[in-house]
Chains A and B, each alone.
Chain A
Amino acid sequence: MTWEHVLELIKSILTTQTGIPSLAVNQVLMMLIGLFFLYLAIAKEYEPLLLVPIGFGIFIVNFPLTPLMGFSEHGAPELIRFFYKYGIEWEIIPCVIFLGLGAMTDFGPLIANPKTLIIGAGAQLGVFITYVGTLFAGFTLKEAASVGIIGGADGPTTIYLTAKIAPHLLGANALAAYSYMAMVPLIQPPIMRLFTTPEQRKIRMRQLRPVSQREKLLFPLIGVTLIVLLIPAVAPLMGMFMFGNLMRECGVVKRLSDTAQNALMNIVTIFLGLSVGATMQADVFLSWKPLMIFCFGLVDFAVCTAGGILTVHIMNMFLKEKMNPLIGSAGVSAVPMSARVSHSEGLKADPDNWLIMHAMGPNLAGVIGSAAAAGMFIAMFQ
Chain B
Amino acid sequence: MNAKCKVPMQSWIMAIFFALVLLPQTLWAAFGEDLEKPKPEFTREQDKITAKFIPRAKSTSVTIAFEVLGGKLKDVTPVDFATANRPGIDSKDFRSELYMLEITDVKPGAEVSVSMSSSFFSSSTEIWGFNEKLKDSWMKGDTENLPLADRVRQLVFQVKDGGAFDGDGAADGKIVLVCGPKDSFWGYAIGTLFIRFFGIFIVLGVLMAGMIFSGKFFQSLEARQLKTVAKPEPVMPAAAKPVEPEKEDEISPEIAAAISAALHAHFTAAQSSEPLDLSQSLLTGWTQHGRQQIMTDRFKTFNR
Contact = CB atoms under 8 A, between A and B. Distances in A.
B206 A135 contact: no
Contacts of A144: 189
A214 B211 contact: no
Contacts of B57: 140-142, 380-381
A268 B8 CA distance: 38
B105 interface: no
Interface in A304-325: 321
Contacts of A218: 214, 218
Interface stretch (A70-78, A84-92, A223-231): A223-231
Main secondary structure of the interface of B (DSSP, over half): helix
B59 A382 contact: yes
A204 B298 CA distance: 20
Contact of A193 (B5, B12, B207, B270): B5
Contacts of B12: 298
Nearest to A142: B57
Contacts of A118: 201, 204-205, 208
A372 B204 contact: yes
Given A138-B29, A298-B12, A354 B204 contact: no
Nearest to A298: B16
A125 interface: yes
Contacts of B1: 194-197
Contact of A230 (B13, B35, B206): B206
Interface in B265-280: 265, 269-270, 274-278, 280
Interface in A45-76: none
B13 A133 contact: no
Nearest to B288: A352
A335 B205 contact: no
A382 B57 CA distance: 9
Nearest to A168: B35
Contacts of A356: 295, 299
Contacts, number: 195
Interface in A363-378: 363, 365, 368-369, 372-373, 376-378
A380 to B, nearest CB: 6
A176 B40 CA distance: 35
A376 B59 contact: no
A256 B208 CA distance: 29
B200 interface: yes
Interface stretch (B20-28, B150-158, B171-179): B20-28
B40 to A, nearest CB: 18
A91 B95 CA distance: 27
A32 interface: no
Contacts of B278: 352
A190 B8 CA distance: 8
Interface of B: 1-2, 5, 7-10, 12-13, 16-17, 19-20, 25, 27-32, 35-36, 56-60, 189-190, 192-193, 196-197, 199-208, 210-212, 214-215, 218-219, 222, 265, 269-270, 274-278, 280, 283, 291, 295, 298-299, 301-304
